[in-house]
Amino acid sequence: MKIIAVSAAVLALSGAAFAADAEAGHAAFDKSCKGCHGAAGVPNPAIAKMFPTIPDLTSAKLQADSDADMKKAITDGKGAMKPVKNLAGSPDDVVAFIRTLKK
């Protein structure tokens, strides 16, 4: 029984160690994303004029996307958005930060 309890504790702690970091994601977002998406996740109006659409990252529609879909959009691009080259951090961390932008 002790082995099961210890194993469960190790798994719980290791999962926490690999959890995405929204604070690190915020720093990466500021460097790599906010130029188009705005500091608060709402599209920068000057940039929005140049593109057909820039999603509002605070919208319920975008927030309903899975983490995997958001990560894919960052790494592979989506629609008019090109893949983010030289992302200033982990895509998982950026997704964790985007999750904090809910309206």
pLDDT in tens, 31-65: 999 999 999 999 988 888 888 889 999 999 999 99
Residue scoring higher pLDDT (2 or 89): 89
pTM score of the predicted model: 0.79
- Reply yes or no on domain 21-99 having CATH 3.40.50.300: no
Yes or no: say if 49 and 36 are a contact pair by the CB < 8 Å rule. no
pLDDT, position 2: 56
How high does pLDDT run on average in the chain? 86
The confidence band for 12, taking pLDDT boundaries of 50, 70 and 90, is: very low
Residue 42: name the closest of 13, 23, 28, 62 by CA. Answer: 62
Task: Locate the domains of the chain by residue range.
Answer: 21-99
